[in-house]
């Protein structure tokens, strides 16, 4: 298990739940730097790097959703508000299902309960798209990651700047371990949590870019309608990473949810 030094921890006020942010496939915790800085004076914030990212050893065999959730449950033992982006959202949902005592609330960003199409589920990417990424990783590691990053930006005027920012985030650390990338794709392709969403009773904020090219807005609408305590915010013009492309709207939405949660739950 990686040491707690792998966590970015802020010693801020302790009378509210800490916030733990889980990054997505192919990137690392640095993608949340802007959110981390904005919350620093108000919350204790953890932004862990998942196993296999940013020099963290893989240390999971097999590399699967239960393993990732279990890793975070061991490292982050205090009840918290979990912010999960993309693949990180699946990990956050798994935590809420398996370790509900650690989850005060969820914030799901660009997340789907099922990332690939099924016979009864069309609000997702085609299986062939994901298979293509898995195949290409073996032959063009950096090119495959670069193409994946290009899918995460929206079509707004700042999309090129956002793509540069994502690429800078990726280049700022050691490249992800191949086992983590392959395992992450298997999680995205093999996970379907639709039938378990009703089991999650904590407050949930679903934040989605209306122009997300990886997770259709219909998936976010389904997610919000199926989770008993969920509210949905669609951000016009945003792609897969609204906290980068539309930081002010994202932070306003996040802070409103956190404040409402504090008022409804009381100090911790």
Interior CA angle at 67 toward 146 and 229, to 5°? Answer: 85
Catalytic residue among 23, 49, 71, 86: 86
Catalytic residue among 23, 36, 71, 240: 240
Q: In the annotation, is 240 catalytic?
A: yes
Q: In the annotation, is 252 catalytic?
A: no
Please report the DSSP string for the chain in residue order.
Answer: ---GGGS-B----SSS--EEEE--TT--GGGGHHHHHHHTTTS-EE-PPPTTSTT-----SS--HHHHHHHHHHH--S-EEEEEETHHHHHHHHHHHH-GGGEEEEEEES--S--B-BTTB-SSB-HHHHHHHHHHHTT-HHHHHHHHHHHHS-SSTTHHHHHHHHHHHHHTSPPPPHHHHHHHHHHHHH---GGGGGG--S-EEEEEETT-SSS-HHHHHHHHHHSTTEEEEEETT--S-HHHHSHHHHHHHHHHHHHHHHHHH---
Q: In the annotation, is 49 catalytic?
A: no
Question: How far is residue 181 from each of residues 9, 24, 64, 120, 162, measured CA to CA in Å?
Answer: 25, 10, 11, 27, 22
Catalytic residue among 36, 94, 159, 212: 212
The two structure tokens encoding residue 108: 């799901």
Provide the annotated active-site residues: 86, 212, 240
């Amino acid at each position: 298990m990686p040491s707690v030094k792998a966590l970015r921890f802020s010693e801020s006020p302790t009378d509210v739940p800490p916030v733990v942010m889980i990054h997505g496939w192919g990137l690392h915790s640095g993608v949340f730097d802007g959110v981390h800085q904005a919350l620093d004076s108000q919350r204790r914030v953890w932004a862990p790097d998942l196993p296999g990212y940013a020099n963290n050893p893989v240390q999971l065999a097999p590399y699967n959703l239960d393993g990732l959730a279990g890793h975070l449950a061991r490292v982050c033992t205090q009840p918290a508000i979990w912010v999960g982006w993309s693949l990180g959202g699946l990990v956050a949902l798994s935590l809420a299902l398996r370790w509900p005592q650690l989850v005060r609330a969820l914030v799901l960003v660009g997340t789907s309960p099922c990332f690939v199409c099924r016979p009864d589920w069309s609000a997702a990417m085609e299986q062939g798209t994901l298979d293509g990424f898995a195949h290409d990783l073996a032959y063009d590691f950096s090119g495959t990651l670069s193409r994946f990053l290009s899918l995460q930006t929206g079509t707004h005027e700042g999309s090129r700047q956002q793509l540069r920012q994502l690429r800078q985030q990726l280049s700022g650390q050691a490249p992800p371990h191949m086992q983590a990338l392959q395992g992450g794709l298997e999680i995205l392709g093999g996970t379907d949590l639709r039938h378990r969403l009703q089991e999650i009773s904590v407050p949930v904020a679903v934040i989605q870019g209306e122009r997300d090219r990886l997770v259709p807005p219909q998936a976010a609408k389904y997610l919000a309608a199926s989770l008993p305590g969920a509210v949905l915010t669609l951000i016009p013009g945003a792609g897969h990473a609204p906290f980068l492309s539309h930081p002010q709207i994202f932070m306003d939405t996040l802070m409103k949810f956190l404040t409402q949660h504090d008022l409804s739950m009381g100090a911790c």
